[in-house]
Amino acid sequence: MTELISHLRSAVGAAHVLTEGDLAAWETDWRKRTRGKALAVVRPASTDEVAAVVRACAAAGAPIVPQGGNTGLVVGGVPDASGREVVLSLTRLNRVRGIDRDNLTMTVDAGCVLQNLQQAAADAGLLFPLSLAAEGSCTIGGNLATNAGGTQVVRYGNTRELCLGLEVVTAQGEVWNGLSGLRKDNTGYDLRDLFIGSEGTLGVITGATMKLYPRPAATLTAWAAVPSMQAAVTLLGLAHRHLGAGLTGFEVMGQFALSLVAKHYPQLRVPLYESVPYCVLLENADAESQEHARSVFERLLEVALEDGCAADAVVAENLTQAHQLWHIREAIPLAQAEEGLNIKHDISIPVSRIPAFCAETDALLQREIAGVRLVNFGHLGDGNLHYNVQAPAGGDMKAFLDENEERVNTLVYEQVKRFDGSISAEHGIGMLKAGKLPQYKSKVALSMMQALKRALDPENILNPGRVVAL
Amino acid sequence: MTELISHLRSAVGAAHVLTEGDLAAWETDWRKRTRGKALAVVRPASTDEVAAVVRACAAAGAPIVPQGGNTGLVVGGVPDASGREVVLSLTRLNRVRGIDRDNLTMTVDAGCVLQNLQQAAADAGLLFPLSLAAEGSCTIGGNLATNAGGTQVVRYGNTRELCLGLEVVTAQGEVWNGLSGLRKDNTGYDLRDLFIGSEGTLGVITGATMKLYPRPAATLTAWAAVPSMQAAVTLLGLAHRHLGAGLTGFEVMGQFALSLVAKHYPQLRVPLYESVPYCVLLENADAESQEHARSVFERLLEVALEDGCAADAVVAENLTQAHQLWHIREAIPLAQAEEGLNIKHDISIPVSRIPAFCAETDALLQREIAGVRLVNFGHLGDGNLHYNVQAPAGGDMKAFLDENEERVNTLVYEQVKRFDGSISAEHGIGMLKAGKLPQYKSKVALSMMQALKRALDPENILNPGRVVAL
């Protein structure tokens, strides 16, 4: 291994091969579920250096764990405990290579922090719409490797839909320049989308060309109380019809989730939630003007109130009020942590089936596990729920989790399967769910995934054991 | 081979295995460039029958050529002349399996004709936005296999962006049920997008779940004369800003292309083209109302006229006028055929570089080939040009083509390469361009494509030789 370290040092400079001292920042996952042990943390500064690192590791048979901002939620970007894996950190590749206003694209290094890219687009008078909780530290390379979702998916799609081209270092240490500002290119297989979402197991993303959009003239936020999940789905349909592509956010929040926010953050003043099972947060981005945004939004809510799918509603009067409403939505995960331990799920279900899924699964869990409390919220516009399970009030929460976590997961995942859903809508598979995948993915799909992994990474050098086991 | 035919007959019924009589409809490509010879044309009626056909062919080592409506433009869906290939026609799989209004999706058989799907969506009060010239006979399976583009890409994307899930028969004759109404699903590699655009070389698409959209309240069309290609690009930027996602079409047409329409179809009365090098056709789909659509459209054109990027403009007063404007755009290919033989290209270039590309390539061709005439038009909003080359007026056009076609292609493709473009934006590779690909695709990309082909179709049974040679 000394030879490998020395090759890595000559590839990226000795200062950027870390083997001693506190490497916890690279070895511990975001939610602090695991702490691994890296052979080394290597921090190349260019695509060519990444390629040299991959070639050195491949020659030595050392597994590589690509890492961006290390904010992933499925233990996909940290080393295992073997001490054999090399963490390949991309954060020094942090240059915006160029912004093309006429083409509405931005070409960037993989290690750029998401928030910096939002800002770079804004500075050019444009919008880069990807937005998620970790945006202050996650990198675009990580967003691409995990096909991150976020709050604007209902309008702009996942990270996949925002990407036009990639630069990738292959498992053989070759550079594929697939950077493209093209919106149409039918010259062969879709390599781009194969790397997106593959969590560093097929290649190392080093650069990307991303789509930009005009900045909307106005963005308005509304809050509606709805009498049922079915009513929320009906309201979503009305919102699509009235706002068209102006609908940029549609979040649903269960009453218990909101009650936790009200309890732990009373200063946030949660509106309209006390007499209804769900509230909905809607966002409307308008290409025209503030006045126009307000008039179509008010018309929508008028129709929804007449229809009965909304029981009550308010439109934020100004930006401050809009931020307050979003703040409530974003405070749910914090409030549930304040309340105590809980079991998290990141699932998706066809939108039309969500009401039945929630009714059945709520009842099932309450029947099976006495006192269990359901913190249900998420991106209803995308069919994506964070369907979380909170330990019963009082009692020993740790003991509850130890006893019930596996069982709760199985109950929820089996329901997801029955409803043709996904056990990981946004967060990916990583190490955390790699063992679960064979139960919830078809044999045919799994065997194709294995064949693809073997085809592109025959030595199983890239993030081995994550996503798909060979 | 008698044994294979007998297996095929028991798989789909003797009536649906055609080996005699006139098979020209399946053996000749759409543009009648080639006539192949099939061992048999097999017409299964279900996914299971498709799987049985694939297994029978695989066991016999007989290559399979999947075929939809046979409207492809790159000789990708017809058999070669060997008499060894089995044409697998999907047209009897023509059922709409279901429409899910709340989920905004439609699940359909691969053999459904595109126009029937547009109609099925309309009957449900929704929009299926894929639209292209061959829609009366092309099938959705073919659209998916070739990742078809069309006229609405600037708003809704290519066929890829409209697809949420696939059902595919693998090269081993297994059925992968990847039909999904999910908008978020990060459980492993993106198999869906690997099959989309692979032109039947990796698997046989038998079904798909496609996105639907609300129908716009109003659709308006405008026509603008622009003083240069750069002005057209500037107008495109203004249109994005003013119309947001309301911009559903942005077509550019060169003066010579329009003069051919005026010459051969004088009744179409081409507006505003006589004093400018290009005209632009814009379409605005509005979620709100006819009045609103008109007011934002007129505002856009006002700004464009002030800016100078538009020299003159008209908004269609009614649907008839709008159809007339689109008719002019659609008449260009017909008018150039009336004018005589020509060399067609389907290229894409980053939008920002199109003005320089056209200026340079126009000059290059005129310098290299005396009297050559350029019929340039296309989907500027997507960076996609049909940059066609018409033989000089008078003279022997056939002789001109025989002498110059290869040279013209090379000149244009080399320019495309210099401008980081694609030699096939919409139409794919098929047999027609498979030989060209190695010159215009990187070695690294090609070798990954070959590895993927070997991984999923190790016996090279599916559409061999198309797209990528092994």
Q: What are the pLDDT tens digits along chain B (470 aa)?
A: 789 999 999 999 999 999 999 999 999 999 888 999 999 999 999 999 999 999 999 999 999 999 999 999 999 999 999 999 999 999 999 999 999 999 999 999 999 999 999 999 999 999 999 999 999 999 999 999 999 999 899 999 999 999 999 999 999 999 999 998 999 999 999 999 999 999 999 999 999 999 999 999 999 999 999 999 999 999 999 999 999 999 999 999 999 999 999 999 999 999 999 999 999 999 999 999 999 999 999 999 999 999 999 999 999 999 999 999 999 999 999 999 999 988 999 999 999 999 999 999 999 999 999 999 999 999 999 999 999 999 998 888 889 989 999 999 999 999 999 999 999 999 999 999 999 999 999 999 999 999 999 999 999 999 999 999 98
Among A194, A285, A441, whose Cβ lies nearest the Cβ of B187? A441
Using CA atoms, how far apart are residues B122 and A328, in angstroms rounded to an integer?
39
Among B183, B384, B437, whose Cβ lies nearest the Cβ of A188? B437
Interface probe for A, chosen from B423, B448, B450 (most Cβ of A below 10 Å), is B448
- Smallest CA-to-CA distance from B264 within B342, B336, B371, B372 is with B336
Inter-chain residue contact B445 with A191, CB threshold 8 Å: yes
Query: With contacts defined as CB-CB under 8 Å, which chain B residues touch A428?
Result: 186
Domain annotation for chain A: domains and CATH numbers: 2-89 (3.30.43.10), 96-214 (3.30.465.10), 216-327 (3.30.70.2190), 340-426 (3.30.70.2740)
Q: What are the pLDDT tens digits along chain A (470 aa)?
A: 789 999 999 999 999 999 999 999 999 999 888 999 999 999 999 999 999 999 999 999 999 999 999 999 999 999 999 999 999 999 999 999 999 999 999 999 999 999 999 999 999 999 999 999 999 999 999 999 999 999 899 999 999 999 999 999 999 999 999 998 999 999 999 999 999 999 999 999 999 999 999 999 999 999 999 999 999 999 999 999 999 999 999 999 999 999 999 999 999 999 999 999 999 999 999 999 999 999 999 999 999 999 999 999 999 999 999 999 999 999 999 999 999 888 999 999 999 999 999 999 999 999 999 999 999 999 999 999 999 999 998 888 889 989 999 999 999 999 999 999 999 999 999 999 999 999 999 999 999 999 999 999 999 999 999 999 98
Our CA-based measurement puts residue B373 at a distance from the nearest CA of chain A, in whole angstroms, of 26
State residue A447 phi and psi, 5-degree precision: -70, -30
**Closest chain A CA to residue B422:** A185
Q: Are A284 and A248 in contact (CB under 8 A)?
A: yes
Among B191, B214, B421, whose Cβ lies nearest the Cβ of A182? B421
Q: Are B384 and B425 in contact (CB under 8 A)?
A: yes
Inter-chain residue contact B442 with A177, CB threshold 8 Å: yes
Chain A, chain B: beta-carbon pairs less than 8 Å apart:
287
Using CA atoms, how far apart are residues A111 and A70, in angstroms rounded to an integer?
11
Inter-chain residue contact B100 with A352, CB threshold 8 Å: yes
Query: With contacts defined as CB-CB under 8 Å, which chain B residues touch A383?
Result: 103, 181-184
Inter-chain residue contact A428 with B104, CB threshold 8 Å: no
Extract the runs of DSSP E, i.e. beta strands, from A132-277. 163-170, 175-178, 203-211, 213-214, 218-226, 247-254
Inter-chain residue contact A351 with B429, CB threshold 8 Å: no
Does residue A7 sit in helix, strand or coil?
helix
Inter-chain residue contact B444 with A190, CB threshold 8 Å: no
Tell me, rounded to whole angstroms, the distance of Cα B391 from its chain centroid: 25
Interface probe for B, chosen from A54, A146, A174, A189 (most Cβ of B below 10 Å), is A189
Among B102, B241, B420, whose Cβ lies nearest the Cβ of A237? B102
For residue range A21-46, what is the model confidence (pLDDT) as tens digits? 999 999 999 988 899 999 999 999 99
Distances from the Cα of B59 to the Cαs of A451, B82, B127, in angstroms?
21, 19, 43
Query: With contacts defined as CB-CB under 8 Å, which chain B residues touch A237?
Result: 101-102
Query: With contacts defined as CB-CB under 8 Å, which chain A residues touch B184?
Result: 149, 153, 158, 348, 379, 382-384, 422, 425-426
Sequence-separated (6 or more) residues with CB below 8 Å from residue A358: A229, A376, A385, A387
Q: Is A83 exposed, middle or buried (0-12, 13-18, 19+ CB in 10 A)?
A: exposed
Our CA-based measurement puts residue B439 at a distance from the nearest CA of chain A, in whole angstroms, of 12
- Smallest CA-to-CA distance from B163 within A157, A208, A183 is with A157
Query: With contacts defined as CB-CB under 8 Å, which chain A residues touch B194?
Result: 189-190, 193-194, 452
Using CA atoms, how far apart are residues B110 and B84, in angstroms rounded to an integer?
25
- On the CB side of B9, CA atoms within 13 Å amount to 10
For residue range B162-203, what is the model confidence (pLDDT) as tens digits? 999 999 999 999 999 999 899 999 999 999 999 999 999 999
Distances from the Cα of A438 to the Cαs of A177, A357, A449, A457, B26, in angstroms?
33, 22, 11, 20, 41
Q: What is the DSSP letter of A28?
A: B
Does residue A303 sit in helix, strand or coil?
helix
Note the pLDDT of residue A341. Answer: 87
Among A187, A191, A198, whose Cβ lies nearest the Cβ of B429? A187
Query: With contacts defined as CB-CB under 8 Å, which chain B residues touch A151?
Result: none
Query: With contacts defined as CB-CB under 8 Å, which chain A residues touch B216?
Result: 244
Query: With contacts defined as CB-CB under 8 Å, which chain A residues touch B435?
Result: none
Inter-chain residue contact B186 with A420, CB threshold 8 Å: no
Q: Where are the alpha helices (DSSP H) in A316-379?
A: 319-339, 354-368
- Smallest CA-to-CA distance from B159 within B180, B178, B143 is with B143
**Closest chain B CA to residue A426:** B186
Q: Are B146 and B197 in contact (CB under 8 A)?
A: yes
Inter-chain residue contact A184 with B101, CB threshold 8 Å: no
ipTM of the complex: 0.97
Note the pLDDT of residue B61. Answer: 97
**Closest chain B CA to residue A149:** B184
Using CA atoms, how far apart are residues B211 and B163, in angstroms rounded to an integer?
6
For residue range A264-317, what is the model confidence (pLDDT) as tens digits? 999 999 999 999 999 999 999 999 999 999 999 999 999 999 999 999 999 999
Our CA-based measurement puts residue B407 at a distance from the nearest CA of chain A, in whole angstroms, of 21
Inter-chain residue contact A188 with B383, CB threshold 8 Å: no
Inter-chain residue contact A287 with B104, CB threshold 8 Å: no
Q: Are B116 and B216 in contact (CB under 8 A)?
A: no
Inter-chain residue contact A452 with B177, CB threshold 8 Å: no
Q: What is the length of chain A?
A: 470
Inter-chain residue contact B187 with A245, CB threshold 8 Å: no
Using CA atoms, how far apart are residues B86 and B462, in angstroms rounded to an integer?
10
State residue A281 phi and psi, 5-degree precision: -110, 125
Q: Three-state secondary structure along B109-131?
A: ECCCEHHHHHHHHHHCCEECCCC
Inter-chain residue contact A442 with B176, CB threshold 8 Å: yes
H-run or E-run covering A193: helix A191-195
Inter-chain residue contact A246 with B241, CB threshold 8 Å: no
Note the pLDDT of residue B2. Answer: 86
Does residue A165 sit in helix, strand or coil?
strand
Note the pLDDT of residue B260. Answer: 97
Using CA atoms, how far apart are residues B324 and B270, in angstroms rounded to an integer?
9
Inter-chain residue contact A185 with B350, CB threshold 8 Å: no
Inter-chain residue contact A188 with B442, CB threshold 8 Å: no
**Closest chain A CA to residue B161:** A161
